Structure 1
Amino acid sequence: MDEKELNLTVTQKYFELSSLFMQFFRENSRGPFKFENRNRGQGQILSIIREHGTISQKDLVSRLDMRPQSASEMIRKLEKKEYITREKSLEDKRVMNIHLTPRGKIAAQQSDDFQPVVLEALTHEEKEQFDHILTKLINELEPQVRHRPRDRWGRP
C-alpha cells in the first residue's frame, strides 16, 4: 500500500473508531449512575466540586466556560439528581455553598474509574504507544483548529 492509500485507510479507520466510541458511551450511559464526561457539562461541575470539597456557586460558575444561566441550570439538574446540595454560608447569607452528596461522590468517582472495555484488547505497551500517537496527532491538529478566526456565530 502506498503512502496516499495508507493515509486514507488510517483516517477512515480512525473515524470508524471514533464513531464506535461515541456509540459505546451513549449506550453505556444508562443506569442509576450515568457516565459523565469530566471535561464538559455536569461531569465538569462534579469534578470541580470534588476537587474543592465545598465551593460557592459564584466561584463554581466563574470556573466554568459557560454562561451563568446555563451553569445555574446544570447545577439545578445535579441537585434534582441528588448529586449535590446547596446551603447558605454561615459567614455570609448571600453566598450559596455547594457540596457533593454521597450519591454525587459516587458519580464523580465513576468518571475517574470508567474504563472502556475495548482497551482490554491492547497490552500495556500498546496502550502507551496508542497514547503517544494520539497525543502527537492532537498536538498537530489542535493549533490548526483552535486558532482559526470565527464568525459571529462561532463558526470557522
Structure 2
Amino acid sequence: MDEKKLNLELTQKYMKLNSLFMQFFRENTRGPFKFENRNRGQGQILSIIREHGKISQKDLVNQLDMRPQSASEMIRKLEKKEYITREKSEKDKRVMEIYLTSRGKMAAQQSDDFQPVILEALTSEEKAQFDHIMTKLINEIEPQVKHRPRDRWGNRNN
C-alpha cells in the first residue's frame, strides 16, 4: 500500500474511532460515569448486586435504607437503563432475582477516579504506544488550530 493511501485509511479509522468514543461517552455519561456516590441510590444498588453476583429483590430491598416503593422505582430505572435484569428464580418462581448486565457491571466497577474500561482492550505497552502517538499528533495539529479547545466546563485550555 502506498503512503498516500495508508495516510487516508489511517485518518478515516481515526475519525471513526473518535466518533465511536464520542458516542460511547455520550451514551454513558448519564450512566456508569455519574455514580459519584456509591453509598446512595442507584450506585448503592449496583454495588450490592455486584457484591452478591445475584440477589433477590426482597433481599436487596432489605439491605437498602429506603422504603420498598422507592427501592422498586430505582430498580425499575436501572432495568430501563439496561444495567440490571430481573429473572424468576429457578428454585422458587415467586422470587425475582436481580443480575447485573454487562453495562451494569461496567457501571458498578467504575471508581471515583474515572477509569475508562474501554481502554482495558490495550496492554500496558500498547497504551504507552497509543499515548506517544496521540501526543505526537496533538503536538503537530495544535499549533495549526486557530482556537484552543475548550474543556468540559467550556474554559479554554492553555
Q: TM-score, normalising length from structure 2?
A: 0.51
For structure 1, which runs of at least 5 residues remain unmatched after alignment? 1-28, 117-156
> Aligned with 2:91: secondary structure?
coil
1:4-47, CA deviations, whole angstroms, 9 ceiling, x for partnerless residues? xxxxxxxxxxxxxxxxxxxxxxxxx9355332121000000000
Distance in 2 separating the partners of 1:88 and 1:96: 5
Query: Is the contact made by 2:55 and 2:99 (CA closer than 8 Å) also made in structure 1?
Result: yes
**Residue pairs, 1:33-112, within 5 angstroms:** 33-36=32-35, 37-110=37-110, 112=111
Matched pairs, number: 86
Distance in 2 separating the partners of 1:92 and 1:76: 21
The one-letter code sitting in structure 2 at the alignment partner of 1:40 is: R
Deviation of residue 115 (structure 1)?
1.6
**Residue pairs, 1:2-13, within 5 angstroms:** none
For structure 2, which runs of at least 5 residues remain unmatched after alignment? 1-27, 115-158
- 2:113 paired residue number: 115
Give the percent of matched residue pairs that are identical in Structure 1 and Structure 2. 76
Distance in 2 separating the partners of 1:74 and 1:32: 13
Higher gyration radius (CA): 2
Distance in 2 separating the partners of 1:51 and 1:82: 18
Q: TM-score, normalising length from structure 1?
A: 0.52
